[in-house]
């Protein structure tokens, strides 16, 4: 199950995570984001213990969206060791998303 990340828990859940973290930047009104949701949940299930999966609602967390220059959603970023290492913009199939993120 993806973790809801906010400005309050971002450092602990993403930057200080032992595991790589997939972060899904999304919004409730974004149709492609809603279509990506089940794919993100599937990745969280399939890769439990290997990666952590987090979701950031850009409407609620504008500061984080700005900090990572999120201009289009859905945007999915992979963080390793507290640093963003890859980014995918748009709706992709699960296999393509995993490959593009470098997992």
Quote the distance between the C-alpha of residue 29 and its chain's center. 17
Average pLDDT over residues 30-53: 97
The per-residue pLDDT for 72 is 97
pLDDT tier at 52, thresholds 50, 70, 90: very high
- Give the residue extent of every domain in the chain: 3-101
Please tell me the distance from the alpha carbon of residue 19 to that of residue 28, in angstroms, as a whole number: 27
Find the mean pLDDT for residues 31-55. Answer: 97
Instruction: Note the pLDDT of residue 58.
Output: 98
63 pLDDT band (50/70/90 cuts)? Answer: very high
User: 83, 103, 99, 95: which is closest to 16 by C-alpha?
Assistant: 83
What's the pLDDT at 35? 97
Q: What percent of the chain has pLDDT over 90?
A: 98
Residues annotated catalytic, as ranges: 30, 33
Class of domain 3-101: alpha beta
Tokens 């890859």 label which residue? 86
Cα-Cα-Cα-Cα dihedral sign, residues 96, 39, 59, 4: negative
How is residue 76 written in tokens? Answer: 């999915």
């Amino acid at each position: 199950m993806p973790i809801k990340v906010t400005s309050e828990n971002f450092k602990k859940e993403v930057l200080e995570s032992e595991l790589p973290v997939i972060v899904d930047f999304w919004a409730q009104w974004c149709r492609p984001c809603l279509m990506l949701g089940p794919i993100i949940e599937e990745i969280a299930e399939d890769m439990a213990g290997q990666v952590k999966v987090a979701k950031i609602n850009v409407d609620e967390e504008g500061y984080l969206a700005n900090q990572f220059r999120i201009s289009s959603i859905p945007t999915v970023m992979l963080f390793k060791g507290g640093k963003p290492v890859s980014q995918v913009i748009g709706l992709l199939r699960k296999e393509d998303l995993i490959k593009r993120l470098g997992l």
